[in-house]
Amino acid sequence: MRTKYASLVLGTLFLLGAGCSTAPQTTAPAPTPAPMPVPTTTAPTREVEIGLGSDGRLDITTEPFKVRLDSGNFYFKPDTITAAPGQPIEITVDKNAGFHTFVIDGISLKEIVKQDGVISFIAPTQPGSYEFYCDVGSHKAMGMKGALVVK
Ligand SMILES: [Cu+2]
């Protein structure tokens, strides 16, 4: 009984629908198809550092820039390190006397300087001069500072 009633309703709906189709049709614009999902590739990614070279052209640098550093009371030698934007930098501490740190605020770098230790970081992508210094006591005021020049 219940099934019969349901089929009757469906039949009525069908008839109503058929009736509608005989009415003059308005040409509605076809709905725009949904954009196809772009398949994600699972190709292995390789990280590269990208910056603008001094000539303004795209410069891709992957080789770390190696620096040998002397850290003493109270100096860093050299006191200027020049690197390309986004270039990996690898500082090997050749000599260290006393307890010192190597800090660059602009990139939140703070490392304890150790004899024969390596300080690795990525140069900022924004060209400019970034101060590096030792934040122990008044070492910075006594001369333990320098500049990382990114250009
Ligand atoms: Cu120091």
Whether the Cβ atoms of residue 119 and residue 110 lie closer than 8 Å to each other: no
CA of 124 to the centre of ligand 1 (A): 23
- How does pLDDT run across 24-64, given as a tens digit for each residue? 555 666 666 666 665 555 544 445 555 555 666 555 556 89
Q: 74 C-alpha to center of ligand 1: Å? A: 6
The CATH number of the domain holding residue 72 is: 2.60.40.420
The Å distance, Cα 102 to ligand 1 centre, comes to 8
pTM reported for the whole predicted model: 0.61
Is 122 among the domain residues?
Answer: yes
Q: Is residue 33 part of a domain?
A: no
In a domain, 113, yes or no: yes
Structure tokens at 106: 């602009």
Residue type, 149: V
